[in-house]
Amino acid sequence: MATLVMDQFLMDLKQDRFKSSYETVCKTINYLRHVISAARFSHAKDLMKTIQQEGKKIIALQPSAYVVGNMVRRVLKIIREEYARLRGLSEESAGKESLHRMLTTSASGDDFLMSLKELKITVMEAIKEYLDELEVSIHNISAQAIEHIHSNEVVLTIGKSRTVEAFLKQAAKTRKFHVIVVEGAPNFEGHILAKSLAESGIETTIITDSAVFAIMSRVNKVIIGTHSILANGGLKAVVGTRLVALAAKRHAVPLIVLAAMYKLCPMHYADSAGKDAMFNRLTSPQAVLDYGIAGSNELCGVQVYSPMFDYVPPELVTLFISNIGGNAPSYMYRLLSELYHPDDHEL
């Protein structure tokens, strides 16, 4: 049964059938739990090697889905933490790198070769706790809405994000405000969000992408979701987000990004800029340029690209709101050290 579930996950991941990053994260964690459950190992190093091998395999199936690699690194960090705890070391002392330790120990640190019978059980329990934490991540983010949205404000967002939707609906319970939704061509997912907000009694207006700059002077703050947060605090977000961010910067409008911590990855834009498959994903240009028009003599031989994501540099972001609170883009480096071990940044 477990083998069928694992095979189904690999097929769904390869064909990009998951509807959201949260679903991808949960399925990835469950897959890795099956791997750990079936693994036979004598010490932590063997288990970590198995996870790294499986991680490389599933990352290769969908290179642009950064959250898959994030979960592999997170599980590796959990294994390291549980190994240290079973050895009687505190997680803080195991994770810190003092100057003395850097000079007196090898770069690799602990060899993880001690045999610990309870390791598999404790790792499985820790992963279960992490899954429970993921389940309430959106709730923890939306609970902060009342601190950032005030009465009679005009809020602008783009596309459709489950986190942004929950955030705005939570604020609407005690605040009355107006939401402007950018439709997000060519996918037009903004229409779905606008309909949902309007049905909840929130005053909502939908605009085209080309009207963003004209309307920005009336906006009090921009609140958006994102696909991934890069190591420097930049964003990998839905196409059109960079346009919104530049307009907000020009009009000195705060740009707030809502994202759970599982979206924070240790990659930089420069790491994948030359590898388009890693950062972006191209969709059919049918929505941008009709095939009938594209087949005309005037456009014969023209190549049309329709990317799914934009890169938004950190200087265009004002604040990140995650399930653990609000942070500036410059603080992402510190959060990375808490979420992932430096040795796991490159699998």
Render pLDDT for 134-184 as a digit per residue (tens, 0 to 9): 999 999 999 999 999 999 999 999 999 999 999 999 999 999 999 999 999
> For the residues of 209-223, what is the DSSP string, one character each?
GGGHHHHGGG-SEEE
Q: How confident is the model at residue 277 (pLDDT cuts 50, 70, 90)?
A: low
Q: For residue 55, what are the domain limits?
A: 2-135
Are residues 16 and 108 both part of a single domain? Answer: yes
Cα 158 from Cα 147, distance rounded (Å): 21
**Which has the higher per-residue pLDDT, 115 or 54?**
54
> The pTM is what?
0.89
Cα 60 from Cα 285, distance rounded (Å): 25
Are residues 155 and 59 both part of a single domain? Answer: no
Q: What is the DSSP letter of 238?
A: E
- CA distances from residue 38 to 33, 47, 107, 120 in whole angstroms, order as listed: 9, 11, 31, 10
Supply the angle between the helices 66-86 and 332-339 in degrees, to the nearest 10: 60
Are residues 46 and 58 both part of a single domain? Answer: yes
Are residues 64 and 126 both part of a single domain? Answer: yes
Dihedral of the alpha carbons of 64, 233, 186, 212, in degrees to the nearest 10? 180
Question: How much of the chain exceeds pLDDT 70, in percent?
Answer: 89
Are residues 219 and 273 both part of a single domain? Answer: yes
**Whose CA is closest to 70, among 281, 266, 233, 238?**
266
Q: According to the model, what pLDDT value does residue 47 have?
A: 94
Maximum Cα interatomic distance, the chain, rounded to a whole number of Å: 74
pLDDT at residue 71 greater than cutoff 60: yes
Q: Which of 83, 109, 135 is the last residue of a domain?
A: 135
Angle value at C-alpha 239, between 238 and 241, nearest 5 degrees: 75
Q: 251: helix, coil or strand?
A: coil
Dig out the tokens for 227 from the structure: 């696909």
Residue 159 lies in a domain: yes
Give the domain CATH number at 77.
1.20.120.420
Cα 148 from Cα 154, distance rounded (Å): 12
Total tally of structural domains belonging to the chain: 2
Q: Which of 113, 135, 157 is the last residue of a domain?
A: 135
pLDDT at residue 248 greater than cutoff 60: yes
Residue 242 lies in a domain: yes
Distance of CA 126 to the CA centre of its chain: 21
Tell me how long the chain is.
Answer: 347
Q: Which of 135, 157, 176 is the last residue of a domain?
A: 135
- CA distances from residue 271 to 159, 219, 226, 278 in whole angstroms, order as listed: 27, 34, 19, 9
